[in-house]
Amino acid sequence: MRYLHTMVRVADVEASLDFYCNKMGLVEIRRHESEAGRFTLIFLAAPEDKERAMADQAPLLELTYNWDPEEYDGGRNFGHLAYVVDNIYDLCQSLQDKGVTINRPPRDGHMAFVRSPDGISIELLQKGDPLEPAEPWKSMENTGSW
């Protein structure tokens, strides 16, 4: 057995791609549109997983866009996606500069949470040992739910 992908439903393809690709830094690996099924599947990978994702079709994040309008309200029930990052402070600052709310700041230099436009909780974990606690993160309060 091996892990393939996690699927999340999205309501707005452009807003989701802006978040996952432009802000989080994921890359699109492939896309499939089904006229008969009336859906679009977009597969994304973390930059360090790109070669493996291209070769093995894993590990991937699958964004599913259903062409017929639907209401999605179970994002928090899903749990979260998790990504290890080279520098949690730099990424959180970059996300914040791009208008993303840091719901759980990396006060401990190790872990932070943000949410996608569809309410999917995303955990960011510092690669290796935690960074030394630093401002403004050290004293920043939680915002919303994560």
56-65 core/surface letters (b: 16 or more CB in 10 A; e: else) = eeeebbbbeb
Neighbour tally for 121: CB within 10 Å: 19
Tens of pLDDT, residues 65-98: 999 987 776 654 466 888 999 999 999 999 999 9
The residues with which 112 forms a beta bridge, in sequence order, are: 124
Spatial separation of the C-alpha atoms in residues 2 and 99, rounded to whole Å: 35
Is 99 part of any domain?
yes
Is 114 part of any domain?
yes
Task: Please list the active-site residues.
Answer: 123
Tens of pLDDT, residues 14-26: 999 999 999 999 9
Structure tokens at 12: 């707005």
Is 17 part of any domain?
yes
Spatial separation of the C-alpha atoms in residues 136 and 45, rounded to whole Å: 30
Same domain assignment for residues 52 and 81:
no
Same domain assignment for residues 83 and 132:
yes
Structural domain that includes position 107: 75-138
Mean pLDDT of the chain: 92
Same domain assignment for residues 43 and 97:
no
Same domain assignment for residues 51 and 83:
no
Distances (CA, A) of 112 to 4, 52, 54: 25, 26, 28
Is 103 part of any domain?
yes
Same domain assignment for residues 133 and 80:
yes
Global confidence as pTM = 0.79
Look at the chain and report how many structural domains it folds into.
Answer: 2
Spatial separation of the C-alpha atoms in residues 146 and 142, rounded to whole Å: 9
Is 52 part of any domain?
yes
The amino acid that residue 59 corresponds to is P
CATH of the domain at 133: 3.10.180.10
Tens of pLDDT, residues 115-135: 999 888 899 999 999 999 999
Same domain assignment for residues 51 and 33:
yes
Given this model, what pLDDT does residue 75 score? Answer: 57
**Residue for token pair 């749990």:** 79
Given this model, what pLDDT does residue 69 score? Answer: 82
